[in-house]
Amino acid sequence: MTDQDTTVARLSPDSLDQYFSAGIPSTHVLASAPRCDLIIDPGAQTYELLTPVVGAEPDLLGMKRVAVDQVSMEDGPWFRLRLDCREMRHETYGVVVSVVQAMRGGASFAAAAEAAVGNLRTLLESRRRLTHDKEIGLIGELLVLRSLLRSFDEADVVEWWLGPLAEQHDLATPDYDVEVKTTTSERRTHVIHGTGQLEPNPGRPLWLLSIQLTRAGGADGLSLPALIHEVRGLLPAHSGRFLENLVTQGWRDDDAELYRARYIPRSTPAAYLVDDDFPAITTARVSRAVPHHELVSDVSYRVDVTNRDSGMPGGPLDHFLNDEDANDD
């Protein structure tokens, strides 16, 4: 073997599937110099890469799907890199192979593992992570839910929350509808999707609830996973339905490690009545101004409500606008 020999005894995709289908752990030697053994555990849905301890232990903090420790073997201590491969069996195996290849090329276990796990993080982010806008938007809705759940019955609050059901508006309280908009910009500028998002339902007042957040930086802040955990704890009888609603928006508990950003309020939330004077592009307005308006689709625009007069809609939303719930972190 030369210094740059990176040959690894690979398992084919079909072989991997067969080992997982067998249902019992199996051990495979991927390389002999340095020694690298792979344990496939179908029950735990994990790969374990073992190699004799040489050099420092890799720094892999912050990855929920990855862990590293040391185990005692007959010939001394070995590093053990454990990777959760649920729903990513072949991709995660590629990470294992990349670690062994790098070590065969002369890299230390620590350097090889840290680089490969960094690639895994990128893979997870590209496949599953909510976009920044969706993450911020979901945080805003959950802040409202948290406030409502501290003052109202959980069954009622769950019924009011329509956002995950792809309804026209995010909340339908007994007396009015609410469109929750969250931004991290310095001004209250919000993106409106479609001509129906700010179209009031007949006989139902519509309020735009504006929430401003900013990155916490060195201050204590609230992350999306922490907020989900807190709201779920306020729904003892409806946590299952709550999780189902989150899944429809793209959330997965297994991906919590991807959402590290923490936020604090930039300002106090404010509500704006969407009335005839509000600058909204609605279906009714477009139909009056655009010939063959039914042929127009995918309308998105920005509305800056920074200098508009806010109001108090009354009822359950006032708890969020008045209470400190909205500013808890």
Give the three-state DSSP class for 20.
helix
Across 16-41, average pLDDT: 92
Amino acid letter at 13?
A: P
- Average pLDDT of the residues in 148-168: 82
Band of residue 296 on the pLDDT scale cut at 50, 70, 90: confident
Q: Residue 313 pLDDT more than 90? A: yes
State residue 163's pLDDT score: 64
CB neighbour burial string for 225-248, b if at least 16 within 10 angstroms, e if fewer: bebbeebbebbeebeeebeebbee
The secondary structure of 264-326 as a DSSP string is: EESS--EEEE--TTS----HHHHHHHSTTGGG----EEEEE-TTSPPB---TTHHHHHHSGGG
Is pLDDT above 80 for 3?
no
Average pLDDT over the chain reads 87
Instruction: For residue 327, name the pLDDT band (cuts at 50, 70, 90).
Output: low
- pLDDT higher for 245 or 236? 236
pLDDT at 323: 61
pLDDT digits (tens, 9 = 90+) for 265-288: 999 999 999 999 999 998 889 989
Q: Are 262 and 173 in contact (CB under 8 A)?
A: no
Q: Is 64 helix (H, G, I), strand (E, B) or coil?
A: coil
Per-residue pLDDT at 220? 82
- 161: Cα within 13 Å, side-chain hemisphere: 28
Tens digits of residue pLDDT in 90-133: 888 888 988 998 898 888 999 999 888 887 777 666 666 788 89
Q: For the full predicted model, state whether its pTM sits above 0.75.
A: no
Beta partners for 49? Answer: 38, 81
Q: How confident is the model at residue 165 (pLDDT cuts 50, 70, 90)?
A: low
Q: How much of the chain, in percent, has pLDDT values that exceed 90?
A: 51
70 HSE (CA, 13 A, CB side): 14
